[in-house]
Amino acid sequence: MITATRPHGLLRSTRTVTTIALAILLTIGTGACATTTPAVPSYAAATHGDPEFENTFQHEFADVDGVRMHYVTGGSGSPVVLIHGWPQTWYGWWPIMPALAEHHTVYAVDLPGLGDSTGAPTGYDKATLARYVHALIADRLGVRDARVVGHDFGAAVAFEYAAQFPTDTARLGYLDLPLPGPAIDARTYRSLSWHIAFHSQPRVPEAVVGDHVREYLAMFYPQVSFGGTAFGGTSQRSPFTDAEIDEYARTYSRPEALVGGFELYRALDTDVRDTAAAAPTPVPTLLMTAQGQLDAVRATVAARLTNIARAVDVPHAGHWLVEENPQFVTAELEHFLD
């Protein structure tokens, strides 16, 4: 019987080749795995993995007059444009967007220079910002029958949208903002609250807030909540979750966005002049305010919003109407928008 023997050198060579081949396969496999899990963009982090968002909504960008505007859109039906105030972004509408999207095409916009919109607008006065929003909604997206809803300074932007482009505005939602204008001049407006006077100062709020954006926002939100110190109460309860505060802090921690947010307040003198010059708008309007604030706010808007079809204050809500009573706000909007 003849027994074949394999030289020891050949065995070592075979082991070496096998080791190299395995290493190559492992490298290829690792690379393949890495390419299948791309990093989530910062603008999508708050909504990543949320089926309610991902099944209906999407993040979009559009260039408008030197500004890259970010907006979230979804749903089907008559168009609804949602405009945030300070210190929020499009995300402030998220608690009610899924319900609105059942019957409407929703466009939740980040104002120029704020949120994940980048680039500096030519001004932070509300008439200028309304022209940016209109250029996005009407000119870029072709929506000429928008139901425009704004909260806080976003309400002033929504008013200017309707005043400047009444034929492109089907309905107007005006949420919780004394309107700067003939009924309340800029000096008086700054005296309404410490934060309005503080934010109106040049460079000072940026220097104070600086690297403490999240802490500042976390302390500010409860003050203008239901029962907070701005309404004569003592409550320290915040209607915002830690995740929501994190999302707003992420965007306002950008130095440009922090400046832009305060510029909303520094534009009050221009806002007063623009409101005084604006023609009264006959667009059907829904007025909603914090509990107990309806008469005071209505007195500042009545001369310019001449067709207030419905006016209500929101029960058990301070300034954050959407967060503090989303069911009530949703029901009012659905009834009015339909």
Spatial separation of the C-alpha atoms in residues 231 and 148, rounded to whole Å: 28
Q: Say how many residues make up the chain.
A: 338
Alpha carbons 87 and 224: distance in angstroms, whole number: 12
Which position among 168, 252, 265, 271 bears the catalytic label?
265
248 is catalytic: no
Contact (Cβ atoms closer than 8 angstroms) between residue 314 and residue 289: yes
265 is catalytic: yes
Query: At how many degrees (to 10) do helices 242-252 and 255-266 cross?
Result: 90
The one catalytic residue in 110, 116, 125, 152 is 152
Has 316 been annotated as catalytic?
no
Distances from the Cα of 188 to the Cαs of 79, 123, 183, 205, 268, in angstroms? Answer: 36, 22, 10, 20, 10
Q: What is the rounded CA–CA span in Å between residue 84 and residue 141?
A: 19
In the structure encoding, which two tokens stand for residue 62, read together? 């559009």
Phi, psi (5° rounding) for residue 324?
A: -85, -25
Q: Which two tokens stand for residue 130?
A: 């309304």
Interatomic CA distance for residues 32 and 240, integer angstroms: 40
Q: Which residues are catalytic?
A: 152, 265, 319
